[in-house]
Structure 1
């Protein structure tokens, strides 16, 4: 007796082109903010803090729109568990931590460090994990 194993996509509707661009744009913006924070931490040139603030604002915009697309995709999936839910939760966590980092960067430039750097590190790691989970095209094996 032979058994056949079929593969089905993890998403009913895979991320579209605009969703992919928004998600992929979030990572370099958070990474640029992280590099700007590192430069500010080493030099204390206030302009690096300003760069980080603007890059965080862009990352929040891209991440928020990608989160909106991810939520629509989550509603359209036939089941509510698994990878689509992990992707949405990672993206939501990155967005919330990025928002807190933006609030931290809104303070006086001398008050940004070291909490701003740590929050930006966490937001960058979460954004990378969300992009990995969201853009991974592996299929799940149906039982």
Structure 2
């Protein structure tokens, strides 16, 4: 549900890209676990493509966030510092994970890639908690 402040000020463009990154990185964990259980290289390829997609949309989210900071209509709806730091940590973990997944076979995923995917997922959950708290605070402070 959008607050009345969102309707008055404009919708932040970054909110179009961030969920795609979060979904791609979450599915990366799922495909890494599938690879761990089956050793089928198809799952490693899926993970690599999901990491690429998440990083691409993450870069678009950063560009959109910069545009949102410039736009006067969305300046008040910017994310909190913990959200920003969480998103940057997510992208850094996924970037390192992408290099790990570039390897061949089992060692490209197990154990390092799987651990990085799990860590990325945990930081996503933590970042979503920060986002929910700041959204709740913003809705309480609206006139």
Counterpart for residue 119 of structure 1: 116
Structure 1: runs of 5+ lacking an equivalent: 1-8
Residues 75-98 of structure 1, C-alpha deviations (whole Å, 9 max, x = no match)? 7868xxxx6211111100000000
Equivalent runs, 1:23-62 vs 2, <5 Å: 23-62=18-57
Aligned to 1:104: 100
TM-score (norm: length of structure 2): 0.74
Please list every run of 5 or more consecutive structure 2 residues that lacks an aligned counterpart in the other structure.
none
CA distance in 2: counterparts of 1:131 and 1:85, whole angstroms: 13
Q: Which has the higher strand share?
A: 1
TM-score normalized with structure 1 length: 0.74
* Larger-gyration structure (1/2): 1
Between 1 and 2, higher relative CO (CA 8 Å, sep ≥ 6) is seen in: 1
- Distance across 1 between alignment mates of 2:36 and 2:70: 42
Among residues 9, 14, 19, which one is paired with 1:19 in the alignment? Answer: 14
Q: Could you tell me which residue of structure 2 aligns to residue 92 of structure 1?
A: 88
Distance 1:124 1:67, change over 3 A: farther
Aligned residues: 127
Q: How far 1:104 sits from its partner (Å)?
A: 0.2
Instruction: Show structure 1 runs of 4+ deviating over 6 A.
Output: none
